[in-house]
Amino acid sequence: MEEKKVEQPQQHTQAQLINMPIPKAYTNGYNIKLSLSDLIITFHQNGQPFLVMNMSFITAKSLMQEIEKALKSFETNSGVLVPDMKTIAESISKATSKKEG
């Protein structure tokens, strides 16, 4: 039986990607919904939705693993732990209740 090779997408440098004529976006929020076959992410910018991205569960899981790997590398190399939104919200809530109390 002949073995088929899975082609990997071409990897580009950060400089190449910045200069490519492809859409670029910044997000500081998101919402995730599920269908029976896909994951749907609505990206937000300052509280306003601006992009909806659908992807397969396989792609979503692979993306999650790569993002986790990149963040762990950043935290290890910088010595800075990146907090998540829940942690930040809890810290702000505690600080606000101390000021009020």
- Residue 19: predicted pLDDT: 86
pLDDT tens-place string over residues 69-87: 999 999 999 999 999 999 9
3-state secondary structure of 9: coil
pLDDT tens-place string over residues 10-69: 788 888 888 889 889 999 999 999 999 999 999 999 999 999 999 999 999 999 999 999
- Residue 72: predicted pLDDT: 97
- Please determine, for residue 1, whether its predicted confidence score (pLDDT) is greater than 70: no
- Residue 53: predicted pLDDT: 96
Would you say 53 and 37 are in contact if contact means Cβ atoms under 8 Å apart?
Answer: no
